[in-house]
Amino acid sequence: MTLWQPARAALWQGRNDLAEADNALRVFQTLQHRTVFEPEAEGIALLGFACDEGVKRNHGRPGAQKGPDTLRSALANMASHRGHDRLVDLGNIHAQPDALEAAQDALSDAVKQCQQAGMRTLVFGGGHETAFGHGRGVLDAWPDARIAIINIDAHLDLRRAAQATSGTPFRQLALHCEQQGREFNYTCIGVNPAANTQALLDEAARLNVNIIWDTDCQRPEQTAAATQIAALLAWADKIYLTIDLDALPGWQMPAVSAPAGLGIPLDRLLNLLEPLCRSPKLQAVDLVEFNPEFDRDSLGAKVAARLAWQIVHQWSDADNHG
């Protein structure tokens, strides 16, 4: 594996409550930490993509390369419930300066190996350039599957650019699907119309992108997003879910390159994601754009880690009932 390093074992530590009861466990005590990259026949592969080269190219605020390890530390001390013992830390892909494409290739290769071995993948980014590496790995691992790509994001990330950035990953995935002769099925939920130019909306229309606006995600009775998710669950063989943390309100998630003025509140987002996370079709998830340089009182880290905690917990139900 190129550009790969094991995660530091010291990241996985927390409070020890075993004197209280033998099941008073936290994630750091049940997670499996590996020092070699060897995908297994089952479980959830936790991978980090320590990269913000795409954010820099997109003129954003750098710092997301520190996201994977910060999120590990935030997750470590949370209680370990059903499913969390299935997490296997398979380390980080580290991008070198001005070498985004090589890092994306390495991430794609790692994801493909994990998927084909029988694992699901949970990736901590990194900027949203993570999505091209992760998504391509899923597409390549399942060449005959109908794969739905669901992006929770204020931005469509369909930019045309001379080189890859954090704003281009879904246009890159569209081109990859075209090269493979397969359908590009892309849904973006939480889109901020004020943050996407008409050129991006035109590109989305050309690619038949399903758009759910941020204003349609504020209350439970606004059903557009839930209806679209139900339709994708019926259509797809496999689902790749990517969550740009800037889709959350800035007061809940300050630790991103572009904090949201509106966004999807965390409780509403968890409700929307529950049917996905309980489905055996959900094959891959990433959380991207977390930037600890701009966090306040570790609020962003706690919010992102809770989101990851909930997804892993509900993934166990998918295995039990899928």
The answer to whether 157 is annotated as binding is yes
- Provide the token pair at 286: 């990433």
Gyration radius from the chain CA atoms: 18
Please give the Cα distance from 217 to 262 (Å, whole number).
10
Whether 128 has a binding-site annotation, put simply, is yes
Give the whole-angstrom CA distance, residue 314 versus residue 302: 18
CB 271 within 8 A of CB 310: no
Q: From start to end of the chain, where are the E strands?
A: 4-5, 32-33, 44-50, 87-94, 120-125, 147-152, 185-191, 210-213, 238-244, 282-288
Asked if 85 contacts 30 with a C-beta cutoff of 8 angstroms, the reply is: yes
Q: How far is 309 from 201, CA to CA, in rounded Å? A: 33
Question: What are the CA-CA distances from residue 203 to residues 174, 181, 215, 300 (Å)?
Answer: 11, 19, 21, 32
Structure letter (DSSP) for residue 260: B
Q: Is the dihedral of CA 197, 231, 118, 6 positive or negative?
A: positive
* Cβ pair 15, 26 in contact under 8 A: yes
Centre a 10 Å sphere on the Cβ of residue 133 and count the other Cβ atoms it contains.
32
247 in helix, strand or coil?
helix
Report strand pairing: 87-94 vs 4-5.
antiparallel
The encoded tokens of residue 233 equal 């669950």
* 319 is known to lie in a ligand binding site: no
- Cα dihedral 226/227/233/236 (nearest 10): -120
Tell me: is residue 98 an annotated ligand-binding position.
no
Asked if residue 144 belongs to a known ligand binding site, the reply is no
**Residues recorded for the chain:** 322
Which residue ranges make up the annotated binding site? Answer: 128, 153, 155, 157, 244, 246
Binding site feature residues for Mn(2+) = 128, 153, 155, 157, 244, 246
